[in-house]
């Protein structure tokens, strides 16, 4: 199965949900006009508000249903072709049960005249690992998600991870064990550690995403914010990795852009048969779970040992 995937990076207007929604609509409209409309478009973490809101998170957090409804309306404003369908993954600050989350939703959007496919909000991933160190202060302003899961889509089984989620290899492992064939990674990564060999966080992202794709034989679609917020610039570099860990396309570290690739889902089988690490893991999983449970029991509630 061929799947046209895209990752779109832009600099959101701080706290301006309507303007950012319009940007998303324009991107989807541009892609629709491209001659080869994508099947899946991944947008960055907090694309609808900007990342650093601090105590302003509560003023901008919305329900996933509201964001889905607005995305659908925006899509239908910009895409009118009968039969048009696109899946999107996008980051936003979510309000749910009185809590705020750093979330990513996955939805299927359709034009108004697409009777064969129902638009649907398919999944909401709430960021599991909240960075609260250095320049980050997420745990102060948002609550932690409690699960990492893959879900079924018309394009196969997919999982969404948000930024630091993907810095822990276990997140990708759980997603792959749950059947994910594509992992969408939504990110807002401030540039830091500028050294003689480039930008430190970008080098690390490349290692992590390559390893995520290569270890499990999955496609990885990474979308990163660009632009500056209070002197902190996000490093974009949206990219698509094949199941062998090769970069298929990569965007700028500074400028807004869209990266695209045509992926072939049967490549997953080719990569996994050559290096069946995921199958090995499945075989060994029960032993590992026993070990993890024992380790978990030895940790004190504060996280130490």
Q: Choose between 115 and 195: whose C-beta lies nearer to another protein.
A: 195
Q: Choose between 14 and 144: whose C-beta lies nearer to another protein.
A: 14
Question: In this structure, are residues 51 and 17 in contact, taking their beta carbons and an 8 Å threshold?
Answer: no
Q: Which residues, including other chains, have CB under 8 Å from residue 143's CB and lie 6 or more apart? A: 99, 100, 101, 126
In whole angstroms, give the CA distance from residue 220 to residue 152. Answer: 16
In whole angstroms, the minimum distance from the beta carbon of 230 to another protein comes to 4
In whole angstroms, the minimum distance from the beta carbon of 164 to another protein comes to 19
Among 250, 191, 192, 199, residue whose Cα is nearest residue 221: 250
- CA dihedral sign, ordered 132, 135, 138, 140: positive
In whole angstroms, the minimum distance from the beta carbon of 187 to another protein comes to 18
Q: Choose between 197 and 300: whose C-beta lies nearer to another protein.
A: 197
In whole angstroms, the minimum distance from the beta carbon of 100 to another protein comes to 14
In whole angstroms, give the CA distance from residue 234 to residue 187. Answer: 9
Q: Which residues, including other chains, have CB under 8 Å from residue 33's CB and lie 6 or more apart? A: none
Q: Choose between 14 and 96: whose C-beta lies nearer to another protein.
A: 14
DSSP secondary structure code for residue 12 in this structure: P
Phi, psi of 102 (to 5 degrees): -95, 100
In whole angstroms, give the CA distance from residue 79 to residue 114. Answer: 11
Q: How many residues does the chain have?
A: 305
Q: Choose between 254 and 281: whose C-beta lies nearer to another protein.
A: 254
Q: Choose between 228 and 290: whose C-beta lies nearer to another protein.
A: 228
In whole angstroms, the minimum distance from the beta carbon of 203 to another protein comes to 11
In whole angstroms, the minimum distance from the beta carbon of 143 to another protein comes to 17
| Interacting residues with another protein (CB under 8 A) | 11, 14-15, 52-56, 191, 194-199, 227-231, 233, 253-254
């Amino acid at each position: 199965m061929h799947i046209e995937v895209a990752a779109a990076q832009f600099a959101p207007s701080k706290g301006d949900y309507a303007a950012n929604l319009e940007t998303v609509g324009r991107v989807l409209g541009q892609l629709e006009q491209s001659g080869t409309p994508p099947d899946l478009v991944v947008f960055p973490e907090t694309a609808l508000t900007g990342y650093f809101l601090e105590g302003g998170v509560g003023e901008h957090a919305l329900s996933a249903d509201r964001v889905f409804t607005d995305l659908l309306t925006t899509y239908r404003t910009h895409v009118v072709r009968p039969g048009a369908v696109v899946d999107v993954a996008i980051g936003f600050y979510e309000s749910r049960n009185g809590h705020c989350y750093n979330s990513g939703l996955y939805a299927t959007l359709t034009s108004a005249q697409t009777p064969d496919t129902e638009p649907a909000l398919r999944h909401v991933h709430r960021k599991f690992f909240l960075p609260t160190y250095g320049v980050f202060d997420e745990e102060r302003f948002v609550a932690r998600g409690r699960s990492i899961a893959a879900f079924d889509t018309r394009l196969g089984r997919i999982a969404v991870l948000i930024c630091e989620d993907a810095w822990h290899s276990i997140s990708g492992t759980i997603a792959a064990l749950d059947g994910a064939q594509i992992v969408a990674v939504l990110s807002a990564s401030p540039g830091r550690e500028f050294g003689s060999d480039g930008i430190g966080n970008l080098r690390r992202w490349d290692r992590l995403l390559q390893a995520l794709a290569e270890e499990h034989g999955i496609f990885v679609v990474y979308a990163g914010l660009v632009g500056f917020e209070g002197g902190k610039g996000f490093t974009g570099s949206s990219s698509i990795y094949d199941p062998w860990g090769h970069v298929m396309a990569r965007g700028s570290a500074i400028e807004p852009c869209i990266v695209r690739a045509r992926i072939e889902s049967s490549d997953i089988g080719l990569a996994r048969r050559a290096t069946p690490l995921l199958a090995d893991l499945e075989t060994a999983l029960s032993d590992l779970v026993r070990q993890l449970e024992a380790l978990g029991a030895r940790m004190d509630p504060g996280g130490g040992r």
